[in-house]
Amino acid sequence: MRSSREEERRCSVCGGPTTHWLRAQEVADALGCSVRKAYYLLDRGELRGIRVGRSRRFEHKSIDGYVNAQLRVEAA
Ligand SMILES: [Zn+2]
């Protein structure tokens, strides 16, 4: 049986086993933007991420949230 704590750690976007982190290149592919733009959004706090040594990872959930927010802006 799965504990709710474990459930919490799952990626709410793709259902991956833990909170799921993407590389800048994956974010760029997902958003159809440049890698540079992905880092820019991270620096602006539009996307959430972590630092892993010298590289950075983007939270899958926050990318989904960003996309949804943009969709709302476009629809308004
Ligand atoms: Zn995910």
CB 40 within 8 A of CB 33: no
pLDDT tier for residue 24 given thresholds of 50, 70 and 90: very high
What are the extents of the domains in the chain? 4-75
CA–centroid distance, residue 75 to ligand 1 (Å): 25
Would the pLDDT of 63 be above 60?
A: yes
pLDDT tier for residue 27 given thresholds of 50, 70 and 90: very high
Only one residue has tokens 């709710």, namely: 4
Would the pLDDT of 2 be above 70?
A: no
Let me know if domain 4-75 sits in CATH 3.10.450. Answer: no
CA–centroid distance, residue 14 to ligand 1 (Å): 4
* Phi and psi, residue 51, nearest 5°: -105, 130
CA–centroid distance, residue 62 to ligand 1 (Å): 10
Region 16-42: mean pLDDT is: 93
CA–centroid distance, residue 13 to ligand 1 (Å): 5
Q: Which residues keep their CB under 5 angstroms from ion ligand 1?
A: 11, 13-14, 16, 20, 60
| CA 62 to mean position of chain CA atoms | 4
Q: Rounded to two decimals, what is the model's pTM?
A: 0.79
